[in-house]
Chain A
Amino acid sequence: MQLGRVVGTVVATVKTPGLEGVKFLIVQPLDRHQEPRGRPVVAADGVHMAGPGELVYFVGSREAAQALPDTFVPVDHAIVGIVDEVTP
């Protein structure tokens, strides 16, 4: 998993079956010093509570879909936690 900052939202009315009700957010991946690294990605919100501005951690690849109610869906990034604190 990696750290990321939610920087936006994506709304799509027409979606592949299984993705109804899934919220999509734009996430800027961060390095461990919380500096932006790489291109933003569209991630499914696996915790149903993330929003713009929040520091999150997300999982990539096939495991992302397993954060959602229907796990056999075409999703390659998912937010799986909202960060309270990172140390150091």
Chain B
Amino acid sequence: MKVGTVVGTVVSTINSPVFDGRKLLVCDLLDMDGNPEGDYLIAVDVVDAGVGETVLLIDEGNSARQIVGLDPAPIRAVVVGIVDEIDVEA
């Protein structure tokens, strides 16, 4: 899994059916220090996260399909948690 910060949303009308009625979040991925590492993901939100929140992401197809309950489905990235705290040993 990955840790990211929600920085925006994507809205689409024409999309694969798996995304109908689902919120898509743009998430900057974070490094160990909590800084943006330069990469990002567009992920389906299942925990009602919002812009500015630090979140836990999965970027793997089987898990994603399991979460949305649809198979087959062209989905990989899902926001699966809202992070309260991260503690990294120095």
Task: Identify the A interface with B (CB < 8 A).
Answer: 1-3, 31-32, 46-47, 49-50, 57, 59-67, 71, 78, 80-88
Contacts and interface: CB of A to CB of B under 8 A. Distances in A.
A72 to B, nearest CB: 9
B35 interface: no
B9 A86 contact: yes
B66 interface: no
Contact of B74 (A50, A63, A85, A88): A63
Q: Chain B binding site: helix, strand, loop or mixed by DSSP? A: strand
A3 B42 contact: yes
A11 B16 CA distance: 22
Contacts, number: 88
Interface residues of B, number: 28
Interface string B13-54: 111101100001010100000000000111100000001000
28 contacts: A1-B76, A1-B77, A2-B41, A32-B7, A32-B40, A47-B15, A49-B14, A63-B61, A63-B64, A63-B73, A63-B74, A64-B74, A65-B74, A66-B75, A80-B75, A81-B12, A81-B14, A81-B16, A81-B24, A83-B10, A83-B11, A84-B11, A84-B12, A84-B13, A86-B8, A86-B9, A87-B8, A87-B9
A57 B61 contact: no
